[in-house]
């Protein structure tokens, strides 16, 4: 059993939702600092992005490499270029595996592209249905949720595209 001592800001007492969120965030931070939670799980529990959580702890994640250009394509797909870039950069920052929603948020946060979570999920569904591009990532299933990380072929494709 873990014993926690948390401080709740006065502003969090104004509503049950704010109080619940403050308790979760404080508990997640302490559990992370004591080594009982990974930074990714603590961020999810806190309802923060991984980079926001790391900033809160004083740890700064690496700045991602430049995103693909607007018109850049891999294998004829702009989405493939952006998704593989996000998975590669996420991996460098310890964020993988990532869900389609997390990939979309990463792309939007670290590039000039506003990427809808639903469009990213649709991209992965279409790839499964049409049996294309799936060799460029590995899929982990957690119940109905799927999370993705870069495969060796995906790394190779990115490296080849960046050396051109």
Q: How is residue 79 written in tokens? A: 């989405």
pLDDT grade for 86, boundaries at 50, 70 and 90: very high
Residue 26: the pLDDT is 84
Q: Per CATH, which fold does 78-163 belong to?
A: Arc Repressor Mutant, subunit A (1.10.10)
Q: What is the pTM of this model?
A: 0.62
**Alpha-carbon distance 163 to 156, whole Å?**
11
Domain range list for the chain: 10-57, 78-163
Q: How is residue 121 written in tokens? A: 């999920």
């Amino acid at each position: 059993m873990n014993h926690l001592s948390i401080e709740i800001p006065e502003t969090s007492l104004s509503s049950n939702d704010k109080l619940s969120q403050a308790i979760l965030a404080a508990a997640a931070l302490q559990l992370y600092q004591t080594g009982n939670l990974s930074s990714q799980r603590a961020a999810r529990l806190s309802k923060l992005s991984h980079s926001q959580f790391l900033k809160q702890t004083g740890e700064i994640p690496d700045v991602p490499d430049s995103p693909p250009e607007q018109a850049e394509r891999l294998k004829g797909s702009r989405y493939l270029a952006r998704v593989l870039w996000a998975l590669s950069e996420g991996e460098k920052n310890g964020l993988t595996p990532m869900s389609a929603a997390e990939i979309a948020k990463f792309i939007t946060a670290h590039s000039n592209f506003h990427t809808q979570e639903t469009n990213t999920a649709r991209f992965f569904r279409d790839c499964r249905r049409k049996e294309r591009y799936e060799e460029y990532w590995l899929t982990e299933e957690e119940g109905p949720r799927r999370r993705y990380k870069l495969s060796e072929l995906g790394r190779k494709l990115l490296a080849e595209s960046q050396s051109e």
